[in-house]
A and B are shown apart, each in its own frame.
Chain A
């Protein structure tokens, strides 16, 4: 402290400095507090992201592995009594052949497949198993597996009479029990499985007949009500894929074209002002309103089928359009005017300027914006609920006009399933798949931006 200097100045100034000095401590404290609050906010946000991802990963990752039975099933010809597989004759119409085929399929369906599986199970279990215990026995295997066995024979009737080794999903309750997702100490009356089945499940696990193997069912099967253990995402995935193809095919050309028009060609007048305000507002319209639009116009007025990816794709297209227009306009705007002036100066027309010079330079930005828009559409749920895409669909859709669900809608359906302790994990696994797809789309967008980023 330079007291010698202070002696020479008048007292008022000294007083003022004094006040400042005295307040300095509390001002600095306030500064630190403020900075601390900022840091706290950032850390809170980061912690929240971590909790979100950690809780979903913790629940979801185990669901990718599922309790599976490795059995040798003897396809006893005594049990499987069916005719030869019908072959289509020249004079038959497809409908007539289909009818004969249905008869054969019906025969196959009547076979006691469960009995075959029971026999295979009994081979591994100790002691004599009475027929009144069949119920407990069947509770081990996912009920959809008998159809998988049937389908295998249907594809290759030559297998009848042989012993084949099959991988069968254990039932959802067994999976829950073996993974410890249910309290093992609960009383019998509150358990999902009988005491006998639980004992058998533990025994088979010990013997290595039940193993935890990677769940291909999750990716290859469609949703299933009767056999929750074999419920999968294939149908929802195809539905989402169809919708995304429609979105990409429609929204990118339309969005880029309208952005080019508004940014490069449109005269400044009332109409273009209106379009601009309109697009900004559309971008902020809640997504569910687009669902109402789809329900009223595409389904109600145009009569397009409910639950069809076509309608979903159209709704999502309209929803993403403003996002893509805004992103493309930003990309076009970031191209410096000197490029345009140079092109115009050597005699290019405006269309030539835009398509030969501006657009190629703006392409990375446009691509990034489009990918982000599509990723947003991929994760959207609410509008799809209103056009019936939450219906239960047991088949993989083969065209955009078929009934289908979408990945986020499947997540919505699964989280509402009554079999809570099984589907909580399954839902988390589906979320991981969805997030994985979205994050990879985002990663591609970021990579493109990094690779082609130009600073003017």
Chain B
């Protein structure tokens, strides 16, 4: 239905384009020079004809259902006013089913039929009114625009202004996203802090949220520190794996590797970056975890299959390509003159790299490490599967831990009840996560940018 309407509008716009085109050609045949090429007049007429109608259509769609429902509810017998919200919804669904011609099985009340008839009437009226006003808008736009066609009309400039405005609008979506993130996180987090004081949340050392449905009165304890500690522990392990491997890979690829190895190894390592994190999580769970705990048995240490070590190790593997491709970019940016200078003084290649290239590239590499750290902190699926979900403060990497991201998933999964601290805490945790990663990113970007300017 709506698709047909949109298609109609598009066809009308195509017609309008033709009208504008032929009209401007007719004007041009009089021997005058048009300001723009005829096509632009056509597009201008089409835009005038179609855009207002489409805008109206969008607004109408947003409002129609709510307005019709309001009108129908107002017409219902007064004794129904006492219905609860849920009963009201059920009633509206029944009326909707009747109105759509689907029909209902079983008993149907007279007022329901009346309401359904009214709803059908209103819907068809609304649809007619919408058609009519869209048609009027389209025709008025068409006529007005068509009249204005004259050699002096700067059609191209008008059309281009519309295009530029549309482009600018779409770049606003990114801003809107950020605003949306900040508002939703802040809003719900503030809501959460009305149950639990921020001090209790940020400095609490015990995480024990309990279940909201128990109704036992006890609110549970929402201490962030055990989760933050688990996050940091796993991230540090991940970085301990990823930084040496990633950096050495980047150095070897940039400075030593023969072309054939480069052409094979680079895409293969990049494949690692494209693998979904759930796959890494599964890999950790079925391969790395059992392997580590077997290894622990061999050397007499008690290593749990799902532990900070397992999650950290696999997360490290995941961010190797991230570290290596960022470092690679930065290392290759170090000017050749610096390298040549070092080699000219008799340095070996590794001395050149260690004493000249790396110090020169250091800010950029630090930036890359910070970005890698922010990625590790925000990673979810690997830790959900492999970290063991044990929100307790302890310093043993062989034991299970829990992280901020895992807890967000646990607290919010499937349950959309935004009124208990048990699910609202997810937003407070999300806010913490957002602020931490944002901070790391901003520092990293500033550092990298500084470094770029230095050598450009």
Task: Tell me which of B102, B172, B185, B438 contacts A292 (CB under 8 A).
Answer: B185
A439 vs B274: C-alpha distance in the bound complex, in angstroms?
Answer: 8
Q: Are B433 and A56 closer than 8 Å at their CB atoms?
A: no
Q: Are B381 and A382 closer than 8 Å at their CB atoms?
A: yes
Residues of chain B in range 183-233 having any CB-CB distance to chain A below 8 Å:
184-185, 187-188
Q: Which residue of B lies closest to A257 (CB)?
A: B170
Write out the residue numbers on chain B whose beta carbons fall within 8 Å of the beta carbon of A95.
97, 102-105
Q: Are B252 and A388 closer than 8 Å at their CB atoms?
A: no
Chain B contact residues: helix, strand, loop or mixed? helix
Q: Are A288 and B433 closer than 8 Å at their CB atoms?
A: yes
- Complex interface: stretch among B8-16, B110-118, B369-377, B389-397: B369-377
Q: Are B416 and A299 closer than 8 Å at their CB atoms?
A: yes
Whether A6 sits at the interface, judged by CB under 8 Å, is: no
B69 to chain A, nearest CB (A): 13
Quick one: CB contact mask for B416-454 with A, threshold 8 Å, 1 for yes? 101000000011001001100110011001000000000
Residues of chain B in range 294-329 having any CB-CB distance to chain A below 8 Å:
317, 320-321, 324
Whether A325 sits at the interface, judged by CB under 8 Å, is: yes
Quick one: CB contact mask for A308-338 with B, threshold 8 Å, 1 for yes? 0000000000100110010000000000000
Residues of chain B in range 159-200 having any CB-CB distance to chain A below 8 Å:
160, 163-164, 166-168, 170-175, 177-178, 180-181, 184-185, 187-188
A372 vs B385: C-alpha distance in the bound complex, in angstroms?
Answer: 26
Quick one: CB contact mask for B237-281 with A, threshold 8 Å, 1 for yes? 000000011111101110111000100010111011011111111
Q: Are B433 and A289 closer than 8 Å at their CB atoms?
A: yes
B342 to chain A, nearest CB (A): 13
Whether B282 sits at the interface, judged by CB under 8 Å, is: yes
Q: Are A258 and B414 closer than 8 Å at their CB atoms?
A: no
Q: Are B181 and A289 closer than 8 Å at their CB atoms?
A: yes
Write out the residue numbers on chain B whose beta carbons fall within 8 Å of the beta carbon of A351.
160, 163-164
Whether B353 sits at the interface, judged by CB under 8 Å, is: yes
Task: Tell me which of A277, A286, A321, A431 contacts B378 (CB under 8 A).
Answer: A286
Whether B399 sits at the interface, judged by CB under 8 Å, is: no
Q: Are B349 and A31 closer than 8 Å at their CB atoms?
A: yes
Q: Are A37 and B248 closer than 8 Å at their CB atoms?
A: yes
A376 to chain B, nearest CB (A): 8
A25 to chain B, nearest CB (A): 12
Whether B408 sits at the interface, judged by CB under 8 Å, is: yes
Whether B148 sits at the interface, judged by CB under 8 Å, is: no
Whether A444 sits at the interface, judged by CB under 8 Å, is: no
Q: Are A289 and B185 closer than 8 Å at their CB atoms?
A: yes
A20 vs B345: C-alpha distance in the bound complex, in angstroms?
Answer: 12
The verdict on A297 contacting B441 (CB below 8 Å), with A49-B271, A261-B171, A265-B168 known, is no
Whether B350 sits at the interface, judged by CB under 8 Å, is: yes
Q: Are A292 and B409 closer than 8 Å at their CB atoms?
A: no
Residues of chain A in range 251-303 having any CB-CB distance to chain B below 8 Å:
253-254, 257-258, 260-262, 265-266, 274-275, 277-282, 284-290, 292-293, 295-297, 299-301
Write out the residue numbers on chain B whose beta carbons fall within 8 Å of the beta carbon of A439.
271, 274
- Complex interface: stretch among B17-25, B76-84, B139-147, B283-291: B283-291
A41 vs B256: C-alpha distance in the bound complex, in angstroms?
Answer: 13
Residues of chain A in range 404-456 having any CB-CB distance to chain B below 8 Å:
408, 411-412, 415, 424, 427-428, 431, 434-435, 438-439, 442, 446
Q: Are A38 and B105 closer than 8 Å at their CB atoms?
A: no
Whether B351 sits at the interface, judged by CB under 8 Å, is: yes
Q: Are B408 and A99 closer than 8 Å at their CB atoms?
A: no
Q: Which residue of B lies closest to A414 (CB)?
A: B282
Write out the residue numbers on chain B whose beta carbons fall within 8 Å of the beta carbon of A424.
286
Q: Are B405 and A381 closer than 8 Å at their CB atoms?
A: no
Write out the residue numbers on chain B whose beta carbons fall within 8 Å of the beta carbon of A412.
278, 281, 381, 384-385
B256 to chain A, nearest CB (A): 6
A30 vs B348: C-alpha distance in the bound complex, in angstroms?
Answer: 9
Whether A386 sits at the interface, judged by CB under 8 Å, is: yes
Q: Are B282 and A380 closer than 8 Å at their CB atoms?
A: no
A152 to chain B, nearest CB (A): 28
Q: Are A45 and B414 closer than 8 Å at their CB atoms?
A: no
The verdict on A31 contacting B416 (CB below 8 Å), with A381-B277, A438-B274 known, is no
Q: Are A295 and B374 closer than 8 Å at their CB atoms?
A: no
The verdict on A94 contacting B163 (CB below 8 Å), with A282-B177, A292-B426 known, is no
A272 to chain B, nearest CB (A): 8
A125 to chain B, nearest CB (A): 36
B1 to chain A, nearest CB (A): 14
Q: Are A45 and B433 closer than 8 Å at their CB atoms?
A: no
Write out the residue numbers on chain B whose beta carbons fall within 8 Å of the beta carbon of A266.
168, 171
Q: Which residue of A lies closest to B255 (CB)?
A: A38
Write out the residue numbers on chain B whose beta carbons fall within 8 Å of the beta carbon of A289.
181, 185, 378, 430, 433-434
Q: Are B405 and A93 closer than 8 Å at their CB atoms?
A: no
Whether A55 sits at the interface, judged by CB under 8 Å, is: yes
Whether B156 sits at the interface, judged by CB under 8 Å, is: yes
Residues of chain B in range 57-88 having any CB-CB distance to chain A below 8 Å:
none
Q: Are A296 and B184 closer than 8 Å at their CB atoms?
A: yes
Whether A385 sits at the interface, judged by CB under 8 Å, is: yes
A359 to chain B, nearest CB (A): 12
Q: Which residue of B lies closest to A258 (CB)?
A: B171
Residues of chain A in range 32-70 having any CB-CB distance to chain B below 8 Å:
34-35, 37-42, 44-46, 48-49, 51-52, 55-56, 59
Task: Tell me which of A275, A372, A386 contacts B174 (CB under 8 A).
Answer: A275
Q: Are A385 and B378 closer than 8 Å at their CB atoms?
A: no
Task: Tell me which of B160, B168, B379 contacts A261 (CB under 8 A).
Answer: B168
Q: Are A261 and B170 closer than 8 Å at their CB atoms?
A: yes
Given A380-B276, A435-B276, output 20 extra A-B contacts at Cβ < 8 Å: A34-B350, A35-B350, A42-B257, A45-B249, A46-B269, A52-B280, A257-B171, A258-B172, A261-B164, A275-B175, A281-B178, A282-B177, A284-B374, A287-B378, A375-B274, A381-B381, A385-B409, A391-B414, A412-B278, A412-B384
Q: Could you write out 14 A-B pairs with CB less than 8 Å apart?
A: A30-B350, A38-B255, A41-B252, A45-B324, A95-B104, A98-B105, A284-B371, A284-B441, A285-B434, A286-B375, A289-B433, A295-B416, A379-B275, A412-B281
Taking Cβ atoms with an 8 Å cutoff, the residues of A that contact B are 20, 27-28, 30-31, 34-35, 37-42, 44-46, 48-49, 51-52, 55-56, 59, 93-96, 98-99, 253-254, 257-258, 260-262, 265-266, 274-275, 277-282, 284-290, 292-293, 295-297, 299-301, 306, 318, 321-322, 325, 349-351, 372, 375-376, 378-382, 385-386, 388, 390-391, 408, 411-412, 415, 424, 427-428, 431, 434-435, 438-439, 442, 446
* 8 closest cross-chain pairs (CB), A and B: A286-B378, A38-B252, A379-B276, A93-B103, A258-B171, A41-B248, A296-B184, A95-B103
